[in-house]
Amino acid sequence: MSGTRELHGIFADNLRILASGERSVSELCRELGINRTQFNRYLSGQASPRPEALQRICTHFGVDGRILLEPLRDLADPHGPRAKSVNAIFDYLYGARDLLALRRPPPVGIHRYWQRSSLSAGWVNSYTVRLFRQHGAMMFRALKDRRRDGSPALPGRVGRDIRGCLMDQEDGIVMQAFQPEGKRLSFGVLSYPALSDSQIYPGVVMISRPAMHQASRVEPCALELLPQGPGLMPALRGRGGRWIDQLSDELHAVMSGDAR
């Protein structure tokens, strides 16, 4: 019995670490399709998931079934094949690893990312973004908000999870985003806020997709720090895409400009 409790404890520790990067446990449970009460039993070390639930957890976090048996720190093998591939890329790109150390990083917390729609003229899509530090790098996870391209959209659909990192530039920040399900990348270049009291990083983004007559691959974008603390929930309740004319004056100027 003590061995079972020990294994449950290992998985519970791993799951708490993985879940710490989520916006909320309730939202995570909805995305995984796992009952909140049962998920709490996993977190407290009272139970381990059945195979189908474990598969959903592993797929969501990009891990494998070893999280049932081994601490995460032991699974992060610096000499493993995946780590070797990543290290080879950084080593080949002269000093690229240094770009992960931002000289002027945006604040850690909840942000909103705005991007002008390439399909619906005058419309701006929005994403809820969580910036956090991991292993010395600034990482982010983003969820697409409702009202995509001027149409209603249900949050939490498969394929709407976007993850990435920020990299340093001489005069700004690169926002590299990955959407595994759609096999899409986006490469955004953000400038620092124009005014000392501004919370908006304006920029331009390019999306990796074939040329389309009806859609542009380059659009204006912006990263906006939301009010933290008590003001966060009201700001989140108002999330969703909107027409350019409904934006603040500062965002309106950014989204109305030419993407060059």
CB atoms within 10 A of CB 104: 9
Please provide the CATH number assigned to the domain covering 2-75.
1.10.260.40
Taking only the tens place, the pLDDT of each residue in 84-130 is 565 666 666 656 667 777 888 899 888 999 999 988 888 999 998 98
CATH architecture label of 99-256: Beta Barrel (2.40)
Residues near 140 by beta carbon (within 8 Å), at least 6 away in sequence: 111, 129, 130, 131, 132, 163, 164, 165, 166, 175, 177
Average pLDDT, integer, range 200-217: 79
Q: How many CA atoms lie within 13 A of 143 on its CB side?
A: 21
Res. 208: pLDDT tops 90? no
Mean pLDDT comparison of 73-77, 83-87, 221-225, 234-238, highest-scoring range: 221-225
Q: Looking at the chain, which residues constitute the CATH 2.40.128.120 domain(s)?
A: 99-256
Answer whether 50's CB lies under 8 Å from 42's CB: no
Which segments of the chain belong to CATH 1.10.260.40? 2-75
> Whole-angstrom Cα distance, residue 24 to residue 96?
33
pLDDT given for residue 207 in this prediction: 79
Residues 3-18, mean pLDDT to the nearest whole number: 78
| Confidence (pLDDT) at 245 | 94
Instruction: Say if CB 124 and CB 257 are below 8 A apart.
Output: no
Given a cut of 50, whether residue 157 has pLDDT beyond it is no
Most confident of 55-59, 89-93, 112-116, 207-211: 112-116
